[in-house]
Amino acid sequence: MYGIELSLLIQKILDFVEARMVIVESNLSAVVGTAFAANLMITPGSHTELASMTSCDVQLLGSKKIHLASKSTPAAREDSIKGDPSGNIGICIRVEVLKKIEKLLKPHPVRLPTPLPIPSDASQSKKTRVGRRLRKNRERYAMTDIRNLANKIHFGVPEESSLDGGLGAADYGMLLFLIVREDGNPMDGGASIETGLSTCRFVIARNAKETDSGIYPYIVQRRDTQEIFAQPVDPDEVVGYFDIIKEPMDFGTIRAKLQEGMYTSLDQFQVRLQI
């Protein structure tokens, strides 16, 4: 009962102070409103006490917004000395606070992706090494069209092979596919897989000396599992081995001689591979 009466009396006092705030605290009322200004002034005790407080202390009274707390104290000080009874200073402060709030509510600018820098021309770079030996080494290990086709497979088309397990033909990739396609369909009397494989070997051997010197011995030795070069030949198992082969030579020696240009013709290179 007494608590209800006490709250009613406090509310009457607040209503009376709020009604007089436009006259007593015109600038503060223009900034935060008459109701909030009345509660803000009653808490410290008088408008003189409110004017002597700092903005950080005003936040403890209930004004938790930093912009309102920092602008309430100048308006209260202006009202304590009766500097501007019309409240124009408070109106200007309120407009300034609203501009700050509007700026804070704006969305952050979209951060655009940074474009990539223009790639520098390697041919004009000063750090590019030059020289006859370096150019020759680059040409030796450069990616050629034949090797590029051999490394690719045709998408959506199953690999056909004359070997068990799909070996051999799949290693020639698009090169075998293009050769069989140009020669015709095997079902229509065109080229067969075996013919395509032999053509692949011939094309690679023909371009071995000029463009891709190391691919043919590698494919013959490592990929073609039905040829005699798939496994090393034991001289004891071949009758008259040394009578037939006068100069035994491994694939490493053949590859080295091919890179050095010691084979003057394609027939000489093929004969060396066949022995």
pLDDT, position 275: 46
Question: Is it the case that residue 254 has pLDDT exceeding 80?
Answer: no
Q: Mean pLDDT score of the chain, rounded to an integer?
A: 66
Cβ contact 26:90 at 8 Å = yes
Residue bearing the bigger pLDDT, 144 or 7: 7
Domain limits of the chain? 2-105, 132-274
Question: Is it the case that residue 217 has pLDDT exceeding 60?
Answer: no
Q: CA angle, corner 147, sides to 143 and 151, nearest 5? A: 110
Question: Is it the case that residue 273 has pLDDT exceeding 60?
Answer: no
Residue bearing the bigger pLDDT, 97 or 189: 97
Residue bearing the bigger pLDDT, 202 or 117: 117
Whole-number percent of the chain with pLDDT over 90: 0
Cβ contact 18:34 at 8 Å = yes
Distance CA 40, CA 76 (A): 10
User: Does the predicted model carry a pTM greater than 0.75?
Assistant: no
Query: What letter represents residue 220's amino acid?
Result: V
Question: Is it the case that residue 103 has pLDDT exceeding 80?
Answer: yes
Q: Which CATH number fits domain 2-105: 1.10.150.120, 1.10.8.60, 3.60.21.10, 1.10.246.90?
A: 1.10.246.90
The DSSP result for 65-85, as a single string, is -HHHHHHHHHHHHHHHTTS-T
Cβ contact 217:258 at 8 Å = yes
**Residue 119's pLDDT band (cuts 50, 70, 90):** low
Distance CA 25, CA 15 (A): 15
Query: Which of 12, 34, 32 shows the shortest CA–CA distance to 23?
Result: 34
Among 21-25, 99-103, 109-113, 223-227, which stretch is predicted with the lowest mean pLDDT?
A: 223-227
**Residue 219's pLDDT band (cuts 50, 70, 90):** very low
Question: Is it the case that residue 96 has pLDDT exceeding 70?
Answer: yes
* Structural Rg of the chain based on CA atoms: 47
Distance CA 32, CA 48 (A): 18
Tokens matching residue 245: 């082969």
pLDDT digits (tens, 9 = 90+) for 140-198: 777 777 667 767 777 776 665 544 444 444 456 666 666 555 444 443 444 555 666 66
pLDDT, position 114: 75
Question: Is it the case that residue 252 has pLDDT exceeding 50?
Answer: yes
pLDDT, position 194: 60
Cβ contact 96:30 at 8 Å = no
